[in-house]
């Protein structure tokens, strides 16, 4: 049973560019959340997708956008990259977006470096 898979594992971009990160949820899960983890910090919630709609959003600017596909996979897009966007981006999946009994399953993340 495949867990949460993310691609690519590492990415280097230049300031001002745009980037797309991808996530496939664990089999049977229908909800995807994205988190940003800066070096030495805890993850911060970016947003969550369920039924192809953004359901909740954290305190991130509009440069961060996402999408969920009918097969439940998801993309995170970041426009006009800043040096401060360098971080580990984690995808997490679960069953249902309001179920308190469905724990999050995290992928290993995509390490984004902006130069």
Partner 1 sequence: GNSVTQMEGPVTLSEEAFLTINCTYTATGYPSLFWYVQYPGEGLQLLLKATKADDKGSNKGFEATYRKETTSFHLEKGSVQVSDSAVYFCALSDAKGAQKLVFGQGTRLTINP
CA atoms within 13 A on the CB side of 80: 4
Closest separation in Å from C-beta 9 to partner 1: 10
The closest alpha carbon to 38, from 107, 90, 91, belongs to: 90
Candidate ranges 10-18, 20-28, 34-42, 70-78; the one touching partner 1 (CB under 8 A)? 34-42
Least distance from C-beta 90 to partner 1, angstroms? 6
Number of C-beta neighbours around residue 11 at 10 A: 15
Hey, what are 50's tokens? 């369920």
Report how far apart, in Å, the C-alpha atoms of 77 and of each of 15, 19, 89, 95, 108 are. 14, 6, 11, 23, 18
Residue 17 or 113 with smaller CB distance to partner 1: 113
Rounded to an integer, what distance in angstroms lies between the CA atom of residue 72 and that of residue 80? Answer: 26
Of residues 52-111, those binding partner 1 (CB under 8 A)? 55-56, 58, 90, 92, 94, 97-104, 106-109
| Closer by beta carbon to partner 1, 40 or else 84 | 40
Shortest reach from residue 89's CB to partner 1, in Å = 11
Q: Is 11 in the site for partner 1 (CB under 8 A)?
A: no
User: Least distance from C-beta 28 to partner 1, angstroms?
Assistant: 15
């Amino acid at each position: 049973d495949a867990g949460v898979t993310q691609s690519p594992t590492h990415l280097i971009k230049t300031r001002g560019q745009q980037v797309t990160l991808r996530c496939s949820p664990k089999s049977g899960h229908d909800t995807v959340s994205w988190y940003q983890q800066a070096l030495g910090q805890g993850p911060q919630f970016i947003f969550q997708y369920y039924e192809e709609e953004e359901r909740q959003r954290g305190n991130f600017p509009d440069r961060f956008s996402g999408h969920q596909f009918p097969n439940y996979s998801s993309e995170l897009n970041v426009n006009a990259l800043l040096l401060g966007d360098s971080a580990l981006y984690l995808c997490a999946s679960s069953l249902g977006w309001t179920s308190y009994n469905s724990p999050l399953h995290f992928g290993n993340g995509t390490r984004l470096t902006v130069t």
